[in-house]
Amino acid sequence: MTDWNAMADEDFRREVRAFFEWQYPPQLRYILHRARWHEMKDWWRKLCEKGWIAPNWPREWGGMALDAGKMVIYLEELERHGVARPPDQGITQVGPLIMRFGTEAQKAHYLPRTLSGEYIWCQGYSEPNAGSDLASLQTTAVLEGDHFAVNGSKIWTSLADDATHIYLLARTDRRAKQQQGISFLLVDLKTPGITLRPIRNLAGHEEFSQVFFDNARVPREGLVGALNDGWTVAKALLGFERLNIGSPRRPQYALNRLEMLARAKGLLDDAGFLDRFIALKLDIEDGAALYRRFVEQVKRGEPLGQDVSMLKIWTMETWQRLAELLVEAGAEQGVIAGVHDVAGVETDFLNPFYYSRPATIYGGSSEIQRNILAKYVLKLPS
Catalogue the active-site residues: 241
Q: Are 138 and 171 in contact (CB under 8 A)?
A: yes
Looking at beta carbons, which pairs linking 177-181 to residues 24 or more positions away fall under 8 Å? 178/135, 178/136, 179/135, 179/231, 180/228, 180/231, 181/228
Q: Is residue 206 classed as helix, strand or coil in its secondary structure?
A: coil
Q: At what angle do helices 37-50 and 9-23 cross, to 10 degrees?
A: 130
CB atoms within 10 A of CB 221: 13
- What is the spatial distance between Cα 306 and Cα 315, in angstroms, rounded to a whole number? 16
- What is the spatial distance between Cα 26 and Cα 23, in angstroms, rounded to a whole number? 9
- What is the spatial distance between Cα 92 and Cα 80, in angstroms, rounded to a whole number? 20
- What is the spatial distance between Cα 321 and Cα 230, in angstroms, rounded to a whole number? 36
